[in-house]
Structure 1
Amino acid sequence: MFVPNTTSRPAADMAIPHTEQLIFTIATQIPFVIFFWMGIRNIVHYKDPTALFFGIGGCLASSFEPIVDVMGFCYFPREGNWVAFEWLGRPIPLLVPCTYGWFVGGMGYWCVSILQDPRTTRMGVWKLWGKAFVINLVLEYPPLYFGIYTYYGYQPLQVGGFPLWFPATNAITPIVAGTVVNLLHRLGELNGWKMVVIVPITASAYGLANAAMGFPVWIALSTDLGYEVTYPAVVCTAVLLVTGVWILSLQVPEKGGIELRNEKPRVRGKRKGR
């Protein structure tokens, strides 16, 4: 399925190479297995299902991939594809759910730990987004280079065939999931059986972030009017991203301060002179 009335199409004879697909499928399984093992270990030793619920939610987040691909003009070829599931006429390979399990879920869990650290400041949230952006680049460039998938249409900000507005949007996803979970923790509403809500929160964060931040480019791509439309649209997406990260950063202090705990002062953030 492609956006109607557009001329933009990926190469008709494109196929996913067998050897490369095997390599990337195995490579994505390794962090996937490590994170899920950590989640099970946390349940056994600490009675804490947080990591496991984040991982399950991350895997379920991959259900949004066909929607994001149709709207964002990303394409996994059918030929040679080890299909995990298919919606909207888009076959999604086996490596995708595993990747989402540790990128969306695992990084969402990491984001919660960062946001709950009393030393974290608003600049730390911006750095967190920057780190997620770089990790997404490292994650996506190799399979893109070897033909596992491709982007098509009048994509703005393409570098090496990768439109950089995509990883910029993806990078905010785990912060969104981590923020909602962190705020529920602060309200004292995330305990006992209620912790299972982490699963749908993480699963929906990917779709929420992409739709909220990427929709200007989605619309521009679907018009099929060229770069003179998609580049102004990506500026709008950039404004939304900056605004979004700024809003998410408001949950932590702007600067380091003093936190009183058990009547003993504790310095938050970096101390002067160090």
Structure 2
Amino acid sequence: MTLPVNVLAAAAVPKHPSTEMPYTPEVIFTIFLGIPVAIGVFFAIRHLLTGKGPLLLMCLIGGGVACLFEPIVDVLGLVYIREGASTTTFYSMGRDFPLFINFVYIWYVGGLAYLAYRIFSNGVTKKGLFGLYAMDVCINIFLESPGVLMGAYEYYGPQPLNFWGLPLWWVCVNPLMPLIAGALIYRLKPFLPGWKIALVIPMIPMADGMANGALAWPIWTTLNWDASLVVTHAAWVVSFGLALTAVWILSFVVARPEEEVTITSKLGIIKAAIFGIPDEPSPAPPRAGAQEPAPVPVGVAS
């Protein structure tokens, strides 16, 4: 018995759009994403000049290298960064990519990896780690929403959770890129003295590949079947479960017991990561003329 051809044939992969990049949204979005990059570079140079080391700079460079993953996730995840930009920086897989793609990887993947490393070094509980994941989800929504609303890029095909042009399944996957990178740095930095600290650079794109490959494959598969929204939403549930599982796994790598963590508030964790943990104040010297307390005689209860 021969099955009909339409039963055996795979559904066509949705064809990506071909809309040109609008100039004004490109400029605005590039400036919007360039500001945190400028701040990160400023502090990276400051760290070098003040003897704090090149780690932040290595993270930012690694984030810049990781942007070469963008064509891969775009093709698999059905994203179209509109072409013909005035600031095209590289070409891959039949598409060209504007400067703002480089910027977003430098600070979201590289910069937040450094922030995650600092948080893990200061101490974080399992609950705090899940809170950090949620914070990175919100940051992702904040940084991507202007781009899709202005038309600098678009998602196509049967994207689940697509309410205003930004499919929210992406923001469940993306935070694991800096979190995994930060965990790698946290665990491996003691083994990276001197020039070996440069190995942080490839760790950032490695973490990018780990996160996307491990978490997004259910949705990538269904999107490229051109499946129904019911199926792609079911795939999102699987990917979201994988993302939470990944955070749980990371907790065994970086989290500490509550009694070992002195800072637990979300704001305090971020402030400590950025500005450092203040030293314990030393006891004030006795005032001039102040009498020393009388010693307690041996055998007399105080």
| 2:126 pairs with 1:140 | no
Aligned length: 256
What residue in structure 2 maps to residue 261 of structure 1? none
Larger radius of gyration: 2
Structure 2 CA distance for partners of 1:149 and 1:250, relative to 1, 3 Å: same
SS, match of residue 191 in structure 2: coil
What residue in structure 1 maps to residue 293 of structure 2? none
What residue in structure 2 maps to residue 262 of structure 1? none
Query: CA–CA distance in 1 between the matches of 2:142 and 2:63?
Result: 19
| Sequence identity percentage | 36
Q: Which amino acid aligns with 1:257?
A: E
What residue in structure 2 maps to residue 76 of structure 1? 81
From the two aligned structures, give the one with the greater strand fraction.
1
SS, match of residue 175 in structure 1: helix
| 2:197 pairs with 1:189 | no
Q: Deviations over 1:129-162 (max 9, x none)?
A: 1111000100000110010000000111112121
Query: CA–CA distance in 2 between the matches of 1:47 and 1:231?
Result: 46
Deviation at 1:30, TM superposition (A): 1.7
Structure 2 CA distance for partners of 1:46 and 1:80, relative to 1, 3 Å: closer
Deviation at 1:72, TM superposition (A): 0.2
Q: Which amino acid aligns with 1:124?
A: G
What residue in structure 2 maps to residue 105 of structure 1? 110
Correspondences of 1:170-181 after superposition (within 5 Å) = 170-181=174-185
Query: CA–CA distance in 2 between the matches of 1:158 and 1:134?
Result: 16
Query: CA–CA distance in 2 between the matches of 1:166 and 1:114?
Result: 24
Residue in structure 2 matching 1:8, options 10, 14, 25: 14
Deviation at 1:80, TM superposition (A): 4.0
List runs of 5+ in structure 1 lacking aligned partners.
259-266
Q: Deviations over 1:207-241 (max 9, x none)?
A: 22111100110011111122232122111111110
Residue in structure 2 matching 1:67, options 72, 82, 85: 72
SS, match of residue 253 in structure 2: coil
SS, match of residue 23 in structure 1: helix
Structure 2 CA distance for partners of 1:137 and 1:253, relative to 1, 3 Å: closer
Query: Do 1:10 and 1:150's aligned partners in 2 also have CA atoms closer than 8 Å?
Result: no
TM-score, normalisation: structure 1: 0.88
What is the CA RMSD across the aligned residues, in angstroms? 1.9
Q: Which amino acid aligns with 1:66?
A: P
Structure 2 CA distance for partners of 1:244 and 1:253, relative to 1, 3 Å: closer
More deviation, 125-134/14-23: 14-23
Query: CA–CA distance in 2 between the matches of 1:124 and 1:69?
Result: 31
